[in-house]
Amino acid sequence: MNVQKDKIVMSLPAKSQYIEVVRLALYGIAVRMGFNFEDIEDLKVAVGEACNNAVLHAYADGEEGNMKIVFEAAPRYLRIIVQDEGRSFNSSEACNRVPVTITDKSLSEMHAGGLGLYLMQALVDDVEIRTEAGTEVILTKLLNGSGVVI
């Protein structure tokens, strides 16, 4: 089955001041699709974390770089892809550093890295990370609990 998807692509400098531009674009797309306020806020936090990772970790100090944001708006879901061409990381190692449940841990037991990944996983329906050339974070949020993503 071929699902009609609208694709919106943005290319921005990997600088913190442009994260809000991505969040504003996301807001407009999600409202048009019919996402509720809570889901939009969750998406904005998750996308902000993905972009922040590109800004903070992809490029060495002083190195210029870009991040590409792709929004795929389908009838039953919104997929956001955040790509950079900087340094990759071991995503499974980063995810494994995060405790399965953070409520049982003291602040001293928490690790600085990986909490953004934990947040993304908690706020959207699916998170995929690819690190072949740079890093690609793929976030998928279902519209109104619409079931399986195609």
Question: What CATH number did the domain enclosing 66 receive?
Answer: 3.30.565.10
DSSP per residue, 100-132:
S-GGGS-GGG--SSSHHHHHHHHHSSEEEEE-S
Percent of the chain whose pLDDT exceeds 90: 61
Q: What's the pLDDT band for 7 if we cut at 50, 70, 90?
A: very high
Total number of domains constituting the chain: 1
pLDDT digits (tens, 9 = 90+) for 77-108: 999 999 998 876 554 444 444 444 444 555 45
For residue 150, is it within any domain? no
pLDDT digits (tens, 9 = 90+) for 113-126: 567 888 999 999 99
List the domain range (segments joined by +) for residue 130.
Answer: 6-145
Amino acid (1-letter code) at residue 100: V
Contact 72, 81 (CB under 8 A): yes
Tokens of 150: 């195609």
Tokens of 90: 């071991």
User: Distance (Å, rounded) from C-alpha 78 to C-alpha 30?
Assistant: 8
Q: Quote the DSSP letter at residue 14.
A: S
For residue 60, is it within any domain? yes
Q: Quote the DSSP letter at residue 17.
A: G
